[in-house]
Structure 1
């Protein structure tokens, strides 16, 4: 910073290094840090000249990436119970949607657009006929149980029992009604106090174990962040950072695409190898005779699909095609006639699967 210029800096204790993330945004007069915890907080420090007005207005624009769980919301959140759906109505809706689609695609780009439109048509028809799941109101559970909370619950139950035995009086000035309200209020107050104390103890434990026990430190951080820590919001591939779910998918594509590439070998002539591969591909393409798929073959293949399986990346299951109409299978036949595989059929989901036997650390990522 040049001499004579004002600036700003942020200082914190050394034992908080693992909780603080410095952000590259800003300059000498604007500094930003992010503090991890139960709620991630963003601190922005701005230098203002002492000659400036006390009513100095600031305008801040900061783009926050959406949570993976918020972006990737499927249009059908619950599993469809096909035994309770109107299959005839589903077939008619599919036929109406197929009739509005474009003709046979002529190139891979049109094929990709056709599959996207087909997925939208199938999903829209399924939403229209799928029975809506009844939402149950879940009772709130206690976040923590201590001796003080246990005693408050006992007092509340005793007060409620006495109020019930005396014919449930509705008079607000009745002694049993007042006692019931007081014990309920006391229980709620005690729960808030114990939860606050528990959070303070957890944060202090994180600070104390920052340098002594790294495993305990990261386990506490993961526990504090909750279920949202399981979602991938950022991905680094060869020092390139990908943010947001859409860009994360591009990062995975780049990562696995680089793995599929052949490594440079000094003992081989790579230019000659590429020319040979190109020529071999051209020969195979010229000699290849495309055998068209008949409608009967598609029907037979669809009938052999396994049911009650997980949905794909686009939220489509085998039942969508099994219970579909004849026009849906005919449209699939037209899409397969182009002799090209769309990128939508290549996208998969990545999750961790543990074996039933053996060590839990011996897992497979599929």
Structure 2
């Protein structure tokens, strides 16, 4: 019974010492980080070269890098860590067709859907071409007083230049209807709703 109490006391003491060690480690890390931040702040006020050096050091120096990487039961060290990550992500990216892990019914359904989509595109009716009158009407309905797009163009530009740009925009819209593809550059602008 006495040895059992001694074991319990040793376990309690060990737990207390572990907590104290972790506390001291956290305090040391916090003071190191605080000193580094203070160095950056002081350098930013006095010497821009030192400031930029410290900022670069902060970006590229990571104390959290691992020396050993375990994947499954294998351990990788040094230069082999990179190839281990490559192998790990290749394994993740390769579908496992084991019936217990992979849903084969869902796979077949997705293949069927992928085959149906091109067939529907082929069977679609041709989209009627937009007329300059429709485009002009859509431009007049644009909201005014809104922010510009990434090119600095606001809806007022289109409204005031309606006579000049209507035919061009009509051609662009009809080309989109024919190709069934909206260029990325048009997805960013303010005329997307047209």
Scaled to the shorter chain, the TM-score interval is 0.3 to 0.5
TM-score, normalised to structure 1, is 0.25
Say which structure, 1 or 2, has more relative contact order (CA 8 Å, 6+ apart). Answer: 1
Q: Based on CA coordinates, which of the two structures has the bigger radius of gyration? A: 2
The normalised TM-score by structure 2 is: 0.44
